[in-house]
A and B are shown apart, each in its own frame.
Chain A
Amino acid sequence: MSPPVRYRRLSTVKVLMMAADALWSNRLRTGLTTLGTIIGISSAIAITSIGQGVQKATEQKLQALGTNVLLVQAGVTTNNSSQGAATLTWEDSQAVSQQVTAAKAVSAFLQKPQVQVVYAEQKIVTNLIGTDKYYPEVKNIYPQEGQFLSQDDVNAANPVVVLGSKVRDRLFGLNASAVGADIRIQGERYKVIGVMEPKGALGEVDQDDQLYIPLTNMSARIVGNNALAGLAISGLWLKSNSEVYLDAAQFQVTNLLRLRHNIYPPQPDTFRITNQKDLINTLNSVVGLFTVMVVAIAGISLIVGGIGIANIMFVSVVERTREIGIRKAVGATNAAILHQFLAEAVVVSCTGGAIGVGVGIVISFGAATIFQFPFVVSLWSVATSLGISCVIGLLAGLIPAHHAAQLDPIVALRSE
């Protein structure tokens, strides 16, 4: 007379339907119970998605600059204060260009922030860069209109200027024609020969809010060069043939400059080298750390949510003691009762998880739209979130469901 297997095991679909039905009849409570999982999962999804989006956007911008680029700056950084000593010269730059085999192109530059620029009645303050013809190639930014500085302009220290797109907009009006006009930079007259394409801001530096004039001209007329060894520069950009040569280039540049400046161990460098790859790595580790932190917080919220579910399940078992008795009297096995309550916990937490995924996607989509970075939702994070919420439901439901299954039908039937 032992029961057939068919009797012992209800189909999963049937059990889930029964669970959904029971939960639906107590909608408010079910809704409040799911909140914990919704908050946990949605914040995890939103933050990982936003983090990935920001990371991707920054990487794209850095990659647009080129991942095979080194920045060598004059001066050293000691205890957070940078000393912009005039330790690099144009001759250094030319030596790097000629002797560093890993270098594809080298561009020297002088930089002066907060320079006053005037056109007609318009007066603006912007960032002035003196450089050479290699700048566009190295920085991967090209003129949209007119042309960039030529070798002749640099050799002859011509009073010509190339405008960043934002400078053009501010001085001449949005997308107005500027080539051929005369502007004044710190009182000196310059002819506009080109306007650069817009590139967007990267960190603090807005590449579009800059002016470019010949390095030689800037050194003589704007900065007032007094370097004994030659024409002082703020630094140089070096572009290698490929990312893989970057470390070699950095090594060669360091050795060459130390030699040229007569620096011997244990003396430190008098210049700083920034590697684009290092920047990306730093950025990735910062975003990674941030993501780990937020995911940890989301995890805590999920645990709290799970405890909430367990609590409500206990209350539900007590409230429905008589129902459990009735079900057992008409033939429910312990396993059937266990599955019913487990299924309710799992349905609650998985529903919360699914809603959380939806809310998280909406939040990150909104953030991506408002702050203009790519909208990325990885399947991995969605799948993990749903998986975790189901596991939490199982764990939270286990003890209450076991408690329900073990109830004595006679005692359960007698309860009010």
Chain B
Amino acid sequence: MTTMVRMEAITKTYCLGEVSIPVLKQVDLSIAQGDYVAIMGASGSGKSTLMNIVGCLDRPTTGEYFLEGKNLTTLNEDELAYIRNQHIGFVFQQFHLLSRATALENVMLPMVYANLSQQEQHQRAIQALTSVGLSEHLAKRPNQLSGGQQQRVAFARALVNQPAMILADEPTGALDTKTSQDVMHLLQELNEQGITIVIVTHDRDVAAQAKWIIHLQDGSVVNQACNSRL
């Protein structure tokens, strides 16, 4: 299995005036293609920062990050934007949909920046929404959809540029148990299709589905274990 994510001695330090706060300390991480990894840890443990660095939304202070074998540490902002657009799909706790755009327009958004033709955008967005079971809600705005439906729109948006990896930050955090299960099921399916999944969660039940669980504490990986259930 090829390596999707390889991190070597990643540190992240925030400087607040004279005080520097280390958020990540010498994190080494390796995620294989097709893996399903859950990152757990108390709030303030650095899991969101790690997730942002994996997702190219943030850069490490020191250390090196390789995605599919390519070193991303030296890339400029435009190049990182391109990687976010082409290689990574994001799903957030708060869904983060554009409120004045329809489900279809939300899903088309990544393709707008990929400069695809209007026709292709349309076609692929419909396909993605159909694959998450929302083919009848194309023209609805987020406020006309339930929480579960909104999260599925977010999944469709994350999938539409056919990324190699999906990063989900507390994807079930704002959902009830039933819809949470639907979302977990969807993640499972995607992983079975070969998409690498990295999920940040508090919830042990959610993490239990992953192949690997990484525990973070005070910015360091304290435990990286193969899921006992598997």
Contact = CB atoms under 8 A, between A and B. Distances in A.
Interface of A: 1-3, 6-8, 10-11, 14, 18, 22, 25, 322-323, 325-336, 409-410, 413
A1 B83 contact: yes
Given A7-B113, A10-B113, A331 B86 contact: yes
* Interface of A (DSSP majority class): helix
Interface string B104-118: 000001101111000
Given A323-B98, A331-B85, A413-B96, A3 B79 contact: yes
A6 B92 CA distance: 28
A7 B84 contact: no
A414 to B, nearest CB: 9
Interface string B70-102: 100001011101111110001010001110100
A307 to B, nearest CB: 26
Bin chain B's interface residue count: 20 to 34
22 contacts: A1-B75, A3-B79, A3-B82, A7-B85, A7-B114, A14-B112, A18-B112, A326-B96, A328-B57, A329-B55, A329-B57, A329-B84, A329-B96, A330-B90, A330-B157, A331-B85, A332-B81, A333-B78, A333-B81, A334-B77, A334-B81, A410-B57
A112 to B, nearest CB: 78
Interface string B36-71: 000000000000000010010110000000000010
A326 to B, nearest CB: 5
Given A3-B82, A328-B84, A409-B57, 16 more contacts: A1-B70, A2-B75, A3-B78, A6-B115, A7-B113, A10-B112, A14-B112, A327-B113, A329-B57, A330-B84, A330-B90, A331-B86, A332-B113, A333-B113, A334-B81, A413-B57
Contacts of A326: 96-98, 109
Contacts of B81: 3, 328, 331-334
Interface of B: 52, 55, 57-58, 70, 75, 77-79, 81-86, 90, 92, 96-98, 100, 109-110, 112-115, 157, 161
B3 to A, nearest CB: 16
Contacts of B85: 7, 330-331
Contact of A335 (B52, B78, B100): B78
Contacts of B83: 1
Contacts of B82: 1-3, 7, 331, 333
Nearest to B86: A331
A409 B92 CA distance: 13
A29 to B, nearest CB: 13
B113 A410 contact: no
A101 B188 CA distance: 109
Given A1-B75, A328-B81, A331-B84, A336 B70 contact: no
Interface hub of B57, B79, B113 (most chain A Cβ within 10 A): B113
B58 A333 contact: no
Closest 4 pairs between A and B when the two form their complex, measured CB to CB? A331-B85, A3-B82, A330-B110, A331-B113
A88 B17 CA distance: 94
Given A1-B83, A331-B82, A322 B112 contact: no
Contacts of A10: 112-113, 115
Contacts of A330: 84-85, 90, 109-110, 113, 157
